[in-house]
Structure 1
Amino acid sequence: MQRKVHVIHHTHWDFEWYFTTNESFVQLAYHLDEVMQALEDKQIDYYLLDGQMSILDDYLTSFPEQKERLGQLVKSGKLAIGPWYTQTDELIVRGESIVRNLNLGMELAESLGGYMNIGYLPDSFGQSKDMPKIYNGFGIQQAVFWRGVPNEVTTKREFHWTAEDGSSVLTSNIKNGYFVGVGLICSDDAPALIETISEGATGNDLVLPVGGDQRYIDFNLRERMELYNQALPDTKLVESNYDLFFEAIKENKLSTVTGEFISSSVSKIHRSIYSSRYDHKYLNDKVERRMIYQAEPLMVMAEKCGIPYKKGLLDRIWKLLNKNHTHDSAGGCNSDKTNQIITDRFVEADQLSYSLVDYLTRKIAESRMNVSEGELVVFNTLPWKNKKVMKCEVSTPFAAIALEKDGSTIPFEIVGTRKEFSGSIRREKADEDPTSFYFIHELLIEAELPPLSFMTYQVVEKSEGIKRQSTKETAEQSIKNDYYQIIFEAGALSLVDRKAGKTYKDFLAFEDSGDEGDTYDYSPPYADECYRLNLADANCEVTQNTLLSKFTFTGEWNIAKDLSERELQKRTQTIPYQLTIELMKESRQIQFHLEIDNQASDHRMRVLIDTPHKNEFSYTDTPFGTIKRTVEDQHIDDWKELGWREEPTAIFPMLTYVNSHDSSSSWTVFSKGIKEYQFVGEDFQTMALTLFRSVGYLGRPDLLRRPGIASGNEFKYIPTPDSQLQKKMTFKFALQIDHDYQPAQLAKEYLAYAISSPYYQIQELNRFTTTLKYFVSNPLKNKVREQAGITFDSSKLIFSALVKTQDALGFDFRVYNPDLRREVAGETIAGPHEMSYTFVDLKGNAVSSTEKNDIIPLGTFKPGEIKTIHIVD
């Protein structure tokens, strides 16, 4: 039977890489002229514009007059665009970011005539196990990707890829990369090329993607196809697209596979890229958290108060973030000039999102009934009652303060007070008014906040002295709260689990080793020295009070300055550090805050946390679920003999936590921006979280973990001195010990740790609390009252988003079941009054009839299932 080769003419348009997006945009401006002309003149039948809309978004900003022309080609089916806004990373960005990416891409593509309804990610460095359910949630039933499928899972190129909830996509796994078809243009060895793409095919329909990075139109495509057709009597090459290819293979006998794909058995996967450019990972994590758990819920809350919902403002921020989520950009494997642009986008997104939260909290606070000077308004942007110790600052004209709620005194503690000048600044200090000043008090408050609402406190003058925290040195230096005691003795930290009555000695340390890798991959130097760093020489301060107990360690670590020193086992470079360890009242988290000043090069630093378990598996969260991974790859000793592309070191990605547990206890480390972990030690008892990697080249050849040619550009060393990260950096993580591993409850505990409570103080003394405070603002005409929002308080399901995705009334509330095996039933959303609700998919399309009630029953959740509820209250 004759074989049919579906020739897919395309380009892979890296948004940025060793070049900047500005540099590639110039090529795009002219490239699209060629594309449109070739399609209009029928020189080619179809063209695939890489499945992402960000490049067209930029193009139409400069050339809006081309929108109709492009739209005609899209509507005719000749030009395939979307569904993505950018070619996202799937492993270290949150699920809601992936959803926003598709929302933005589809919306823009629909304005041009429609999108390619295929999950097309030809170059992402690994595939998340959650993608089938994300795709199905958007009505996508087919997917195309290249990297990560293990040979032992399947060698077939077409299969059904499924998720725990039963979601499934018909998948085409590209053979040898999206550029394999360039051989059609460049090589006359037709049998060899067809043999290559036949390997693993499930039928007589083969796919041949003809394109490459920023590749031009191949105007001789038909000529080359005819040459191949003449050389291959049993094979017919036809111009095609992925829709036609999937239609042709849908009846093939196909296997079903499940899980994530991060194997290097057939392609480089870069399993340690999760720690490149830590500074970017940290910023991304901060802005993602703020957008999903503060800005978007606040905007929903604000609309109920009469403040218009500004979807365009949210979209602007999400576009900035999504541009930084492309596989190269998220990974950090770029030139320094590109990484600087990525940094600038993060800074812009940070400023916009912070200012949005600032504006909304102020607008609501100043629009309440009976506003009075000094009031402190604290917001809860989560859908459950939130009791926590929070930090805030207030400005007052008096040196001693008290805190009241409805006339009753509220307990709080003052961390510190500083006196600030409030008059007009003058060239000569003597000319300044000595009576113009105010006080800024840093407070700890034990707040109990209603769900999706706010609480108002009165800051008043206190006649007695200021109650301050005490700092003390004791013979046995220790801190404690209801759950833990931490003891510093003989340079080591011991952890006491007070509930279980167990002590864990020397549970925390740091590790520094060499790194002769590049921005893609960690690789140990050919001559390495690795050492454990502790706190033995640190200066230790202890703060012990009712709401907060804290260690502050200050010191220096000595490490090798560079690879040359490491080979000689010299350690002349000092790394100044400050480590704080905090125990809040009634908090289950031990919070760590590390600040260092890195001036060394080519090294990797990790934090080591010893668990009491002999670990065979690790557990962590994924975009919309959890995953169980083995702590050592079965091919760690024979990967070279098998011809793998890189060593399958058990270095893994994480989003917000990594967990180790057995039948007696569960240890979880939460992070804010740390995205990489590995279990190490004789019995894999130690969690090793990579704080950062310091490397100086985009790509290097002949690495110990990745033999052969350099990744990125194999023909040229591209120095990246900025990727050495020789600067001050901050690392934030927390440890929590439980009896059982409960992923949904952990997600809730993570939010208690990682999401602060926004607040605003009514005062005019200090006009510089935030940038926007200096601007004037009119309060709303219709005054705002304190009222609780909807309540969702579950230990079995995870709250994912509260956002408005359509122009219609109401908002979308999203939750999912993180359990890999068990169904969840009986959970509800409670409202303060009757609500109209409809279950919708991730795109906002209704999948149920509309009902009304003050309690929304969520029904039964399959393992891993996502549900979105559109609510009008």
Structure 2
Amino acid sequence: MKKNIHIISHTHWDREWYMSYEKHHLKLIRLMDSLLELLDRDPEFKSFHLDGQTIIMDDYLQVRPELRDKVEHYIREGRLIQGPWYILQDEFLTSSEANVRNLLIGHRDAATYGPVSKIGYFPDSFGNMGQAPQLLQQAGIDNAVFGRGVKPTGFNNSVGEAAYESPFSEMYWESPDGSRVLGILFANWYHNGMEIPVEPEEAAPYWESRIRKVEQYASTPHLLLMNGCDHQPVQMDLAAALRTARDLNTEYDFIHSNFNDYIESVRETAPDTLATVRGELRSQQTDGWGTLVNTASARVYIKQANQHCQALLEKAVEPLAVMAQSVGARYPHHLLTYNWKTLMQNHPHDSICGCSVDEVHDEMMARFAKSRHMSEGLAEESAMAVAGAIDTSAFANEEDAVPFVVFNTSGWKRSGLVSVELELLREALYEPSPAEIAKRLETVRLPLGSVIDASGNAVDASIEDLGVRFGYDLPENRFRQPYMARCFRITLVAKDIPALGYGTFAWIKKERQPSAYATVSAASEPTANTMDNEHLKIMIQEDGTFELLDKENGKVYRDLGIFENVGDIGNEYIFRQPQNEIPLTTKGLRADIVRLEHSSLRTVYEIVHRWAIPAGADDLLSRETATMVPIQERQAQRTAATVPLVIATKLTLDKGAKGLSIQVSYNNQARDHRLRMLFPTDLTSEVHHADSIYETAMRDNEPSAIWSNPSNCQHNQAFVAIDEPEAGLAVAHKGLNEYELLRDGRNTIAMTLLRSVGELGDWGVFPTPGAQCLGEQSAELLLIPYAGGKNRHVAAIEAATLHTPWTMRQVAVQTGQLPAGHSWLNWSGEKLVLTAFKANEERGDTIARWYNSTLQPQTLVIQAADAGDWYRSNVLEERLEGLDAADGIIMVPVKPAEILTLGFKVSTK
């Protein structure tokens, strides 16, 4: 039987990387022009794979709109193959919902051109998420094609089925929930059939080498050769090259193929001995130098900007838009799609990973700003629409009451300290002059007053007179309306605000009681350098480290908050500490400790470390970089010259808080180094857990026996946790995607705050001075103790609410269709995590999505008055089977690690 060699023509299109976006864009236009020309004139050129991403079409037709009909023609013919993604993302550095929206928008965009490719394409992701098979199966995709994460062993070293390993380039890949797809690994990378020679004397050795290498790993008689590579121009003479190949190698059939035909052929001939790899594919069965995990800490500032933008879209804008839709506002599908696309243009693996030239990341920050500004505008519109429909007449009996609404767009009932600025008096800016209007408003005597809830109960609050401020309205039917207003800032305890809902409050003139927020008397002051609330006690030491007592179980965590600094002679992809370097730490370095705030509601301490660290690497690093000395072989050290590093750390403990808030700020003036914050746990466990894509992934503390990299850094989305049966500690954060579980005998969680390097790395010499991240830097973390593994979901919920911004809006005293407090989704399910609350574009239904954070079955319980309108859906938001209710309650069984999407019609009552 002849073996079949499937040649698939493609280009792997990094939208931006070692050149700016527009320079790559120019190359894309040239490539697509030549490709269409080839399709026009050469019927033997069967098809071209457009890298699995539809943004290529957007970018091309932006410049060549007149060729859309031709592009659609070849897509319908199956000669141009596009989708299913919008972009080729980094799966671990983009949120769970961003991964789904990428798939959803990719499908919708691709469908406007023609058939959508059902190939789960991950050619160059720096590791693969464990839930990918489940996501793909829900999208109707039964395969995955990927380039990293699994080490094939080949026929001569067959190992059978083992975690992270396969004897072949073909295998099954299974998610934690049991979903399975056929996996195809680019064992010889996605360029093993590029630039095929036409002349026989060149073609003969070419084919001898290429065929031998692909046969080494193939389990079937169907051999895959990828005709292309990064930004590879189309091979215009491919038909002639394949004719030569057929003449030289008559024992093989050479097919200009496509992924559908190739994968179907593999399915039909695959042996029963294919291995099954399970969960995350992160190249753990390697020496550890090629995982590229340190892209999680390259240019931390872009990860922080991304986290902020994702959280605004997923956890504020979309839920508020659903709420506004229920009171008659139009759901802004087109604007949200535009916003998601703008944000996802920063999600390709060479973009969000921070491993490109400086021009790329400068443009990314502009895109993040565009997304953020659109989100802020959309959130304001929706919040105003809902606030305008809320009945606040309960405050009508209070003189000059100024009501306001506190929105909780998280999936859980929530309490916390919030601040809102209210306009108590306002005058339009017409006559007399603005200065005279401001002066008149400033002279009005206003008492600080009180804050009450909708039941008339006084609420603990701080009230501050901000004086007069300029403002303006932009009515839909009138010209802009500028004004001056007398403003107060209200800081209050918003208690038990319902999930995906709101509560109402009001400022009133009358003082109901003394403000509980005022500084407490000296008689009740705590012991110096301690903080205390219902759940935690914090004791700060002279060197700025602190102890944390978990009052629930009496567990004490010591030496928390040490800063560690080491050199980094690597690049944007790979961290490398100089050989034999001893890390610098702040342990034992006396700190300045000042209490900034203390009340019955909040205590804040500031810890300042004044440190001197090496200014950078020595001159050898620049020579090693310029001559491309491999990172493992570099001999550079840090210079003896030092620069100051002043780190200000604020510890904040609020009343009722289950976690300690940590804010770190500093001005980085050093180069070629890494800064981490250390949290020793002293918990006994051989595994830990990390928040990942639709799962809380369990990972070993110790790497594999063949791991030789001294570092074992890993990815996380929102938190890292380690626990025993009765005690656990989690570190949550905003945009600090790299951590390491140190093998120091204390199971210390090390969070990377900064990594400063000066080169891109990879295949050439590309200086990146911007990657040194000089100047002002900051980080935000939340330290969460919990009562052992059975309560690990507490960390997931606390991290989710940390990422969910509060939304506040002032409103008039009015009647309205909505009550003073309300929730749009009344659900329960202790260990389920809600990730989406949005509207479907086609039907207008509301879509809600959860995942089971455990490997045990759970039950979702929904209080649903209009139960007949509920149904199961999937990641493509298709309507599946309906859900039945009993007495207005829907109970949905949720399998271990299942991603569950439901659809329903919104009603307010």
Task: Determine the structure 1 residue equivalent to 2:893.
Answer: 860
* Aligned-partner Cα distance in 2 for 1:437–1:362: 19
Q: Shift of residue 850 of structure 1?
A: 5.8
Using a 3 Å threshold, how does the CA distance of structure 1 residues 384 and 681 change in structure 2: closer, same or farther?
A: closer
Q: Shift of residue 684 of structure 1?
A: 4.8
Q: Shift of residue 148 of structure 1?
A: 1.5
Task: Determine the structure 2 residue equivalent to 1:23.
Answer: 23
Matched, 1:791 2:826: yes
Contact 2:322–2:331 (8 Å) recurs in 1 = yes
Point out the more displaced range, 554-563 or 6-15.
554-563
* Aligned-partner Cα distance in 1 for 2:39–2:795: 53
In the TM superposition, 1:617-632 aligns within 5 A as: 617-632=687-702
* Aligned-partner Cα distance in 1 for 2:638–2:412: 57
Report the count of equivalent residues: 824
In the TM superposition, 1:84-103 aligns within 5 A as: 84-103=85-104
Q: Alignment partner for residue 307 of structure 1, among 314, 318, 329?
A: 329
Q: Which amino acid aligns with 1:549?
A: T
Contact 1:83–1:119 (8 Å) recurs in 2 = yes
Task: Determine the structure 2 residue equivalent to 1:514.
Answer: 567
1:506 alignment partner, SS class: strand
Task: Determine the structure 1 residue equivalent to 2:443.
Answer: none
Q: Which amino acid aligns with 1:177?
A: W
Matched, 1:326 2:326: no
Contact 2:316–2:409 (8 Å) recurs in 1 = yes
* Aligned-partner Cα distance in 2 for 1:44–1:747: 51
1:111 alignment partner, SS class: helix
Matched, 1:543 2:597: yes
Matched, 1:263 2:283: yes
Using a 3 Å threshold, how does the CA distance of structure 1 residues 209 and 684 change in structure 2: closer, same or farther?
A: farther
Task: Determine the structure 2 residue equivalent to 1:381.
Answer: 409
Task: Determine the structure 1 residue equivalent to 2:170.
Answer: 158
Task: Determine the structure 2 residue equivalent to 1:428.
Answer: none
* Aligned-partner Cα distance in 1 for 2:760–2:178: 40
* Aligned-partner Cα distance in 2 for 1:70–1:858: 47
Q: Shift of residue 468 of structure 1?
A: 4.9
Q: Shift of residue 455 of structure 1?
A: 1.8
Residues 709-745 of structure 1 deviation map (CA, whole Å, 9 limit, x = unaligned) = xx1x33xx21111111112122111111111223433
Q: Shift of residue 666 of structure 1?
A: 1.0
Residues 584-637 of structure 1 deviation map (CA, whole Å, 9 limit, x = unaligned) = 112211111111111111110001001021342221122111211112212356
Matched, 1:392 2:414: no
In the TM superposition, 1:233-632 aligns within 5 A as: 233-251=250-268, 252-253=270-271, 254-263=274-283, 265=286, 268-369=290-391, 374-396=402-424, 398=446, 400-406=448-454, 408-414=456-462, 417-420=465-468, 438-462=486-510, 468-470=517-519, 476-491=528-543, 492-526=545-579, 528-534=581-587, 536-564=590-618, 567=637, 570=640, 572-632=642-702
Task: Determine the structure 1 residue equivalent to 2:234.
Answer: 217
Matched, 1:169 2:203: no
Q: Shift of residue 4 of structure 1?
A: 0.5
Q: Shift of residue 139 of structure 1?
A: 0.6
Matched, 1:814 2:849: yes
* Aligned-partner Cα distance in 2 for 1:754–1:416: 27
Using a 3 Å threshold, how does the CA distance of structure 1 residues 859 and 369 change in structure 2: closer, same or farther?
A: closer
Task: Determine the structure 2 residue equivalent to 1:666.
Answer: 728
Q: Shift of residue 95 of structure 1?
A: 1.4
Q: Shift of residue 846 of structure 1?
A: 2.8
Point out the more displaced range, 390-399 or 117-126.
390-399
Q: Which amino acid aligns with 2:170?
A: E
Q: Shift of residue 191 of structure 1?
A: 1.0
Using a 3 Å threshold, how does the CA distance of structure 1 residues 298 and 421 change in structure 2: closer, same or farther?
A: closer
* Aligned-partner Cα distance in 1 for 2:714–2:885: 45
Contact 1:589–1:753 (8 Å) recurs in 2 = no
State the percentage of identical aligned residues.
Answer: 25
2:34 alignment partner, SS class: helix
Q: Shift of residue 457 of structure 1?
A: 1.1
2:12 alignment partner, SS class: coil
Task: Determine the structure 2 residue equivalent to 1:707.
Answer: none
Q: Shift of residue 149 of structure 1?
A: 0.4
Q: Which amino acid aligns with 1:180?
A: N
Q: Shift of residue 529 of structure 1?
A: 4.3
Matched, 1:727 2:781: no
Contact 2:570–2:576 (8 Å) recurs in 1 = yes
2:282 alignment partner, SS class: coil
* Aligned-partner Cα distance in 2 for 1:576–1:832: 57
* Aligned-partner Cα distance in 2 for 1:654–1:800: 16
* Aligned-partner Cα distance in 1 for 2:812–2:170: 64
Matched, 1:869 2:898: no
* Aligned-partner Cα distance in 1 for 2:464–2:496: 23
Q: Shift of residue 78 of structure 1?
A: 1.1
Contact 1:401–1:466 (8 Å) recurs in 2 = no
Matched, 1:68 2:96: no
Q: Shift of residue 412 of structure 1?
A: 2.0
Q: Shift of residue 512 of structure 1?
A: 0.7
Contact 1:653–1:676 (8 Å) recurs in 2 = yes
Gaps of 5+ in 2: 153-161, 426-445, 473-483, 620-635
* Aligned-partner Cα distance in 2 for 1:214–1:856: 54
Using a 3 Å threshold, how does the CA distance of structure 1 residues 215 and 423 change in structure 2: closer, same or farther?
A: closer
Point out the more displaced range, 197-206 or 753-762.
753-762
TM-score, with structure 2 as normaliser: 0.86
Using a 3 Å threshold, how does the CA distance of structure 1 residues 626 and 225 change in structure 2: closer, same or farther?
A: same
2:539 alignment partner, SS class: strand
1:66 alignment partner, SS class: helix
* Aligned-partner Cα distance in 2 for 1:86–1:854: 45
Task: Determine the structure 2 residue equivalent to 1:745.
Answer: 794
Q: Which amino acid aligns with 1:28?
A: L
Using a 3 Å threshold, how does the CA distance of structure 1 residues 447 and 635 change in structure 2: closer, same or farther?
A: same
Using a 3 Å threshold, how does the CA distance of structure 1 residues 82 and 554 change in structure 2: closer, same or farther?
A: same
Q: Which amino acid aligns with 1:298?
A: L
Q: Shift of residue 854 of structure 1?
A: 6.6
Using a 3 Å threshold, how does the CA distance of structure 1 residues 318 and 437 change in structure 2: closer, same or farther?
A: closer
Using a 3 Å threshold, how does the CA distance of structure 1 residues 60 and 753 change in structure 2: closer, same or farther?
A: same
Q: Shift of residue 539 of structure 1?
A: 3.6
Using a 3 Å threshold, how does the CA distance of structure 1 residues 752 and 854 change in structure 2: closer, same or farther?
A: farther
Q: Shift of residue 504 of structure 1?
A: 3.2
* Aligned-partner Cα distance in 1 for 2:140–2:886: 28
Using a 3 Å threshold, how does the CA distance of structure 1 residues 237 and 306 change in structure 2: closer, same or farther?
A: same
Residues 635-662 of structure 1 deviation map (CA, whole Å, 9 limit, x = unaligned) = 356x4xxxxxxx3732110001101111
2:893 alignment partner, SS class: coil
* Aligned-partner Cα distance in 2 for 1:113–1:677: 43
Point out the more displaced range, 528-537 or 607-616.
528-537
Using a 3 Å threshold, how does the CA distance of structure 1 residues 437 and 261 change in structure 2: closer, same or farther?
A: closer
* Aligned-partner Cα distance in 1 for 2:422–2:379: 18
In the TM superposition, 1:49-68 aligns within 5 A as: 49-68=50-69
Contact 1:626–1:743 (8 Å) recurs in 2 = no
2:98 alignment partner, SS class: helix
Contact 1:606–1:688 (8 Å) recurs in 2 = yes
Matched, 1:197 2:214: yes
Contact 1:790–1:832 (8 Å) recurs in 2 = no
1:523 alignment partner, SS class: coil
Contact 1:615–1:684 (8 Å) recurs in 2 = no
Contact 2:169–2:219 (8 Å) recurs in 1 = yes
Gaps of 5+ in 1: 425-435, 640-646, 700-710, 765-778
Contact 1:597–1:727 (8 Å) recurs in 2 = yes
2:553 alignment partner, SS class: coil
Q: Shift of residue 230 of structure 1?
A: 2.3
Q: Shift of residue 303 of structure 1?
A: 0.3
Task: Determine the structure 1 residue equivalent to 2:750.
Answer: 688
1:182 alignment partner, SS class: coil
TM-score, with structure 1 as normaliser: 0.89
* Aligned-partner Cα distance in 1 for 2:731–2:463: 27
* CA RMSD after TM alignment: 2.7
Contact 1:615–1:683 (8 Å) recurs in 2 = no
